[in-house]
Structures are given as C-alpha cells and as structure tokens.
Amino acid sequence: MPRALITVAADAIDALLPQTQCRRCGYESCRAYAEAVAAGDAPINRCPPGGDETVAALADLLDTPALAIDESCGVTSPLVIARIDEASCIGCTLCMQACPTDAIVGAAKLMHTVISDRCTGCELCLPPCPVDCIAMLPAARVWSTADAERARQHFMARNARLATSSRKREQNLAPPDATRQRRRAAVDAALARARSRRAARSVAGT
C-alpha cells in the first residue's frame, strides 16, 4: 500500500485505540501499533486495554474478521490507577521518567504523587521503582473516549517536550558557528606563527 494510504489508515485505526500507551501490543505507542496494523504487519487483536470492543471496531473498519484478544499481550481487565505510597517514596524520579502521560509529579529527593485523572493504568511506572512503593488500585471510573483523547494529547505533549530538550542538549554540546570559527582562526594563527618561526630559524642557519 502506498505510504500516504498507510498514514490515512493508521489515523483511522489510531482513533479507535484506547491511547493508554501501555505497550502491551508490543509497540512503543498506540500510534506505532496503528501503523503496524495499517501496513499489514500486525493483527487487530493485540490491544488488551481496548478488548473485544476495540477488536470489533477495527474489524469493522478494515472489513476483516474479528479475532479473540491475543492473551500473550495480556488480558482485558477493568481500569486501574497508580497510587504511590508517599511515606516509602525516596524521590528517585524513575517513575516520572517512565510515565507516558506525565501523570506523576514530584522532584528529585522529594516524594512523588500520581495525578489520577492523567493516569491511564499502563503500569509502566511499576518496574523502575526501586522500593516497590507504587500500587495499582481499581479506578472509580471506566475508560472513556474522552479519556483516550486526553491521554493522546498528554502523550504527544510529553514527546514534543522530550524532543525539544534533546535538541537543546545537542545544540549545547555542539559549539555555535561563531565559536567554531574563532577556534579555527586561533589554530590557523598558531600554525602560521610556527611556520614563520621555522622559516626564520632556517634563514638564520644558512
């Protein structure tokens, strides 16, 4: 399929995915999974958070048979939300770095806390926590399309922020053009002085 058509299909598929960004499908984001499905590289049944409902919607969109959820990706279960035991938190920030929707707030060496409205229940914050002080608790709500849209926006905003900081880091590492030119000129001048000293010595020696 031409690239442009894959992108259009991926947009439509992505719109049906729950946007928890949990990676249970084996892809790094809902968008990446949508692109793989659009390209024919992944089946439609690898999203446990979306469950049978999402599989049915994808089957309808793509005019293909519905499949049972692939349980190697996990099982469909009610929404859970992360909660940090603040008394045990050591403020290492590792959970914040892992959270795809910026649902965790805190600062280095200070306790962290979860903004429950932003939490998608993806569980990506659990493995990095060195003191195992994050628990997943049943949510008081079900995941809605409004939640999915909010999670998509938070995820995109986070990616944009990370891309900007990485560009800034690279710019800070690479010296600006003017600095490079000054350094080059200093090296050229030193070489010229060395050459003229050598030339003067060889004239004196004759």
Residues of this chain that bind ligand SF4 (CB under 6 A): 17-18, 20-25, 27, 29-30, 33, 47, 49-50, 82, 84, 89-95, 98-99, 101, 103-104, 106, 112, 114, 119-125, 128-129, 131, 133-134
131/194 with CB nearer ligand SF4: 131
What minimum distance in Å lies between the beta carbon of 113 and ligand SF4?
9
Cα 69 to Cα 167: distance, rounded to the nearest angstrom: 39
CA distances from 66 to 24, 57, 138, 157, 162 (A): 19, 9, 29, 33, 37
127/176 with CB nearer ligand SF4: 127
What minimum distance in Å lies between the beta carbon of 166 and ligand SF4?
20
106/147 with CB nearer ligand SF4: 106
What minimum distance in Å lies between the beta carbon of 158 and ligand SF4?
10
Cα 110 to Cα 116: distance, rounded to the nearest angstrom: 19
Cα 183 to Cα 43: distance, rounded to the nearest angstrom: 56
DSSP assignments along 7-41, one per residue: HHHHHHHHTTS------TTSSSSHHHHHHHHHTTS
Six-digit token string for 7: 């992108």
10/104 with CB nearer ligand SF4: 104
